[in-house]
Amino acid sequence: MARTKLEGLRVAVLAADGFEQVELTVPMKELRRQGAVVEVVSIRPGQIKGMHLIFPGKKVRVDRLVEHADPEVYDALLLPGGFVNPDLLRQNEQVLEFVRAFDRSEKPIAVICHGLWVLASADLVRGRRLTSWPGIKDDLTNAGADWFDAPVVRDRNWVSSRGPQDLKAFKAAMVELFAERTPLAPKEIKRQSAKGRWLLGGMLLAAAGYALHRTPVGDMVRKQLSSTPTS
């Protein structure tokens, strides 16, 4: 059975009340479809409520509080947008340190819409190429970002998109970026280990053959073998 692209990857989805519904649920569904283990990390326990622009959306269960979440155990980060969600997140210093830890380790970050506010408040956007919801373009350029009006912008370990209209392109770019960090599945590790042992064995045999035919010790061995009487 073929591996999914993100098998074994652990992804943190950082969100709070007021997240844009489709910007969390659609990418999260794709991540799980591709085999990733996904956890919703937030600033309060229980459930957080989404929005459809200005209309109430559905609730999503929180898996872990940011104060108890260790960035080291995750391979990638997803930041959905919405008007209220990123504004709540960026006022929390533990959130800001959480996202800084991902960027320091050059782990992949996928961010859409107003989610860029969080990265701006963490003082991470200076000199970065990105896009966002057009309404926060000025906020990002004033923070030193190089802003583009495009469905997707990739800059090193970041991929960003403007909003729900770009979800199809965002999902594809996110999976491509995250796949670069996917750990090897156990079967692949076993295959690569066996291949490594086979190559090492071949190298040792080759070295032994060289020693037998190209060194003084080899000359002595050949001379001894040639002088041994046969029955």
Of the residues 52, 68, 114, 213, which is catalytic? 114
114 is known as an active-site residue = yes
Q: What amino acid occupies position 231?
A: S
**Which are the catalytic amino acids?**
114
